[in-house]
């Protein structure tokens, strides 16, 4: 049996373009798990009186960027502050996965929220929610 070529997600990074439209991306420090990522397509029913075998028919609709949420250990005075300042705006982001070579996904996203939590018996967290608003490019 051949060895796997699977890659561990450890070392994945999420970055924000800072300042906006500068082409410079800075890492949002200490991100934890980065969840699934991508577009969703709506499903449109197009069943008609002559649909084969009396079965519903569907076509793929428009693409819509998914919501993307992640959490970081909160660190004051870092790129996380640029992220918090961007709430209510659309910024460019990059996710870099540690494959060989690296897989980099670049996309615009509206920053919906970046909330700090301070549980009594655990580390402070920054909980972020984005909405992908355009094309995702892969390099």
Domain that holds residue 53: 13-138
21-72 pLDDT tens trace: 899 999 999 999 998 888 889 999 999 999 999 999 999 999 999 999 999 9
More confidently predicted of 78 and 56: 56
Residue 17: inside a domain: yes
90-137 pLDDT tens trace: 999 999 999 888 999 999 999 999 999 999 999 999 999 999 999 999
Residue 2: inside a domain: no
Classify strands 58-65 and 13-17 as parallel, antiparallel or unpaired.
Answer: unpaired
- Note the pLDDT of residue 38: 86
Give the number of domains in the chain: 1
Residue 98: inside a domain: yes
Helix, strand or coil for residue 129? strand
> pTM here?
0.86
Among all chains, which residue has been given the structure tokens 């490019």?
Answer: 137
Residue 1: inside a domain: no
**Residue 31, C-beta contacts closer than 8 angstroms, at least 6 positions apart:** 12, 13, 14, 70, 71, 72
Among all chains, which residue has been given the structure tokens 């996203």?
Answer: 109
pLDDT at 1 over 80: no
The enclosing domain of 125 has a CATH number of 4.10.410
């Amino acid at each position: 049996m051949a060895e796997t070529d699977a890659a561990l997600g450890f070392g994945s990074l999420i970055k924000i373009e800072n300042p906006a439209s500068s082409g410079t991306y800075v890492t949002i420090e200490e991100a934890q798990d980065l969840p699934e990522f991508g577009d969703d397509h709506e499903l449109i029913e197009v069943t008609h009186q002559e649909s084969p075998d009396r079965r519903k028919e569907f076509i793929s609709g428009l693409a819509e960027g998914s919501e993307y949420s992640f959490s970081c250990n909160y660190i004051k005075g870092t790129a996380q502050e640029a992220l918090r300042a961007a709430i209510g705006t659309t910024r460019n982001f990059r996710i870099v996965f540690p494959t060989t070579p690296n897989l980099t996904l670049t996309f615009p996203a509206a920053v919906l929220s970046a909330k700090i939590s301070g549980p009594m018996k655990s580390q402070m967290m920054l909980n972020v929610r984005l909405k992908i608003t355009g094309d995702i490019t892969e390099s």
